[in-house]
Amino acid sequence: MVGLVATGVLALGLAAFATIAATLGGNIEGVDSDALMGGDRPEAIVPEDPDAGRPLNIVVLGSDARTGASGDLVADGEAGARSDTTMVLHLSGDRTRVEVVSVPRDSTVDVPACSTTNGKTTRELRGVKFNSAFSQGYVAGGDVASGAVCTTTTLEQLSGVRMDGFVVVDFAGFAGMVQALGGVEVCVPEEVRSPKANNLHLQPGIQVLDGPTALSYARARTGEGLGNGSDLGRIGRQQELVAAMARGVLSKDLLTDTPALLKFLDAVTSSLTMSSDLASLDKLAGLAYSLRGVSPGNITFMTVPHATDPANSANVVWTDEAELVWDNMANDRPLSTPEEGASTSPSASPEATEGAIEAGTSPAPSPSPTVKDAGEEAFTGADTTSVC
């Protein structure tokens, strides 16, 4: 069942806010007014990061609830809500690194009992898909926030890492942000046809996708040019889209086009459901300012190390390497050192596992989890150079 794409958009939104101050000044011819006006002036107020020096771990979720504008975009008759895509966003204590870890929705996990906003408590589930956590909370609590709380609770118990808040984006929010960017440029390695994803049809090569098309591409699982239909292949496409959004947000064109920038920021702020510990504008402004030095090359992506579930070949289980990833996150160490050339390699880990699932075998876990950055060449490689 398809759901909303992964949304590392919080990092991108914060980076957008932060980079406005840093980049606009370099793109506009200026006058040293401070020198001309002298020193007897009111003290400038700089946004303060209340968590300065402290690493933050934020759960970023995509909700596939078909309500409001989201229902207009995806009219497929699905009821309820799931978070078929989940990312954990790690902001290093020194604010030099943004690391995004995708969690496969088909991971076999135990889901603990969770509290919901209406006072109900969900029941514990054992040996279910990871995205059952969100659905369980949503059904019991009747709202997206309860689904997010249950997912966050589950992640903490599975990883042993304290999560500092959550952000949820819906279908319409994601499409609106892409649209506000004027579309996103991605490499499509082969022709894609997916009737179930709003009749998506893409030609191979570099394509600029508008909001609804980007949403369909991110959600698509079955059809031509999409692998075997597993969620793992889709994760690679979702990360590519998020990286493309990062490049768009941090581009000179957007940052010097005030109307376009305001349109994007409006799309960001109008599409989020956030935990109260993140919802303060003052806190967001301070955090954004502290991230002003982040560039696409400082935003890295990886997927929780996994292998085929021996009890269910359609699912995956986390390998021992996942413990290293979470331990590094908990201790604010780089999650993994990118291998030489990693920024130009394809999404090796998801595709390798996808192929193994298709063949009915368990892939050998990688001792060094694959990391990709959001730089210009981050998601192009040997499998796409013939068309891109």
- What pLDDT shows up at residue 243? 82
C-alpha separations of 201 from 146, 210, 216, 355 in Å? 35, 13, 10, 23
Only one residue has tokens 């510990």, namely 277
Enter the DSSP assignment of 107.
B
Domains identified in the chain, total number: 1
Q: Is residue 3 part of a domain?
A: no
C-alpha separations of 297 from 95, 158, 178, 255, 304 in Å? 14, 29, 20, 18, 20
| Contact (Cβ atoms closer than 8 angstroms) between residue 173 and residue 272 | yes
3-state secondary structure (DSSP) of residue 318? strand
For residue 230, give the amino acid letter: S
Q: Is residue 34 part of a domain?
A: no
- Per-residue model confidence as pLDDT tens digits over 138-160: 999 998 888 999 999 999 999 99
CATH number of the domain within which 281 lies = 3.40.630.190
Q: Is residue 30 part of a domain?
A: no
| Whether pLDDT at 18 is above 60 | no
- What pLDDT shows up at residue 239? 85
- Per-residue model confidence as pLDDT tens digits over 251-290: 756 656 767 766 776 676 666 777 877 766 667 667 777 8
83 band by pLDDT with thresholds 50, 70 and 90: low
Average pLDDT value for the chain: 74
12 band by pLDDT with thresholds 50, 70 and 90: very low
- What pLDDT shows up at residue 344? 27
In angstroms, the CA 178 to CA 173 distance is 9
Expressed as residue numbers, the domain containing 269 is 9-23+47-373
| Contact (Cβ atoms closer than 8 angstroms) between residue 59 and residue 275 | no
Mean predicted confidence (pLDDT) in 75-99 = 75
351 band by pLDDT with thresholds 50, 70 and 90: very low
Q: Is residue 2 part of a domain?
A: no
Mean predicted confidence (pLDDT) in 93-117 = 92
Q: Is residue 327 part of a domain?
A: yes
- Please enumerate in sequence order all residues whose Cβ is within 8 A of that of 333, keeping only pairs 6 or more positions apart, or say none: none
| Whether pLDDT at 296 is above 70 | yes
Mean predicted confidence (pLDDT) in 298-316 = 92
Enter the DSSP assignment of 192.
E
Which is nearest to 296 in space by CA: 238, 237, 239?
A: 239
Q: Is residue 213 part of a domain?
A: yes
Q: Is residue 41 part of a domain?
A: no
Q: Is residue 318 part of a domain?
A: yes
For the chain, the distance separating the N- and C-terminal CA atoms, rounded to the nearest angstrom, is 30
Single pTM value for the model: 0.74
